[in-house]
Homo-oligomer: A and B are copies of this chain.
Amino acid sequence: MQKTPQSVGIVSAQRAQFDTPLTCQSGFVLSRYELVYETYGMLNADKSNAILICHALSGHHHVAGYYADAPKNIGWWDNMIGPGKPLDTDKFFIIGLNNLGGCHGSTGPSSINPATNKPYGASFPVITVEDWVESQARLADKLGIKQFAAICGGSLGGMQAMQWSLSYPERVRHVLTIASAPRLTAENIAFNDVARNAILTDPDFYGGDFYEHGVVPRRGLRLARMLGHITYLSDDAMADKFGRSLRSGKLSYNYDIEFEIESYLRYQGDKFAAYFDANTYLLMTKALDYFDPAREYNDNLDRAFAGAKADFLVISFSTDWRFSPERSRAIVSALLHNRRNVSYAEIASDHGHDSFLMQHDHYHRVMQAYLDNIASEFTS
């Protein structure tokens, strides 16, 4: 019998401290750092039911449920996680974390550098997907998890899930990579570069050390987010939702907000700029740009995946032009070349790249079926 999907209910964040220095790909050594995380469900006796959720550009550790003191602050993937939901917390022990370099509690550019007692700012290292996997593996060690049942993520999160299968092939049985890509295209990098330049050239950025000036590069962050939103949505979704509707019903012949789409974008930009850290934004886009497992194999993705041992679920969305289905099919092709077990679903959705975050029957049923199958590995 199908269970009624429920919320995981009240959750709270935890904090883990790591005192073993982490050598980043850049060569920078982070002497110590903290990661903030949440867990949902119970770890079973043999610790075989853990699933790690990796977040995308603006995500964090609060993936499901809500806080006792903030019941409206619901996790960003709450539609996917909970009793009776695809990531079923009656079966799985699910971990969400804020990535190293983030701005939601884990050590990042806005954190105090213990060596200087000032925010890291510009001195915080560029972090790569490989670095994240390393830091996540240490968190798994701390939780006693030797092997994940699955690692799962959308977009940049999907890249981390893939990287797990390359960095730690023995430590992950299933990789779920959603609306992702084996590497960014020149166009993807170009959009990131415009967003970065909006921040880097904001006079309030101060080379990354804006904290000590008591300002925030809001203009730049706002532009970056506005641009991001265009690429997360599909042309059709924008046309359906906003079309050419005018906010006041008539043309104003000035440079104020005129069309509804402008109102939406500026609102999203302002909201984001009010809380997100500019240095974290830069760092996240750079991690996206850098991810490219085929680079060291002379651009041969087949060879890059040669060491992977996991089974894979790859999902793409028809109107996602930022990480198009074609990009997901490249992943599938490379995995099949290596005789991996791969399930692939191309979901018809109007909502572009954002689809991976949204409630969508077909998408959720594909996830549910795949995850039920994983659960049967240890509950049967």
Interface residues of A (CB under 8 A from B): 25-28, 125-126, 183-187, 189-191, 193-194, 196-198, 200-203, 219, 222-223, 226-227, 229-230, 233, 235, 238-239, 241-244, 251, 253-255, 258-259, 261-262, 265-266, 269, 282, 286, 289-290, 292, 295
Contacts and interface: CB of A to CB of B under 8 A. Distances in A.
Given A25-B253, A186-B244, 12 more contacts: A27-B253, A125-B253, A185-B238, A186-B239, A186-B259, A189-B259, A189-B262, A193-B265, A197-B266, A203-B203, A227-B227, A258-B289
B126 A254 contact: yes
10 contacts: A183-B244, A189-B261, A190-B229, A193-B226, A193-B265, A198-B198, A198-B223, A203-B203, A255-B286, A258-B289
Contacts of A198: 198, 223
A187 B235 CA distance: 6
Dominant secondary structure at the A interface: helix
B259 A289 contact: yes
Number of copies: 2
B255 A186 contact: no
Contact of A197 (B183, B200, B223): B223
Contact of A230 (B194, B196, B197, B265): B194
A198 to B, nearest CB: 6
B253 A190 contact: no
Contacts of A251: 290
Contact of A262 (B28, B187, B190, B227): B190
A57 to B, nearest CB: 16
Given A186-B242, A186-B243, A238-B187, A194 B254 contact: no
A255 B230 contact: no
Contacts of A289: 258-259
The 3 closest A-B pairs by CB, nearest first: A26-B253, A186-B238, A126-B253
A198 B223 CA distance: 7
A230 to B, nearest CB: 5
Contact of A201 (B193, B223, B259): B223
B266 A190 contact: no
B193 A292 contact: no
A185 B235 contact: yes
A267 to B, nearest CB: 12
Contact of A226 (B126, B197, B269): B197
Nearest to A260: B186
Nearest to A294: B244
Contacts of A25: 253
Contacts of A223: 194, 197-198, 201, 223
A192 B209 CA distance: 31
Contacts of A244: 183-184, 186, 189, 292, 295
A219 B202 CA distance: 8
B186 A261 contact: yes
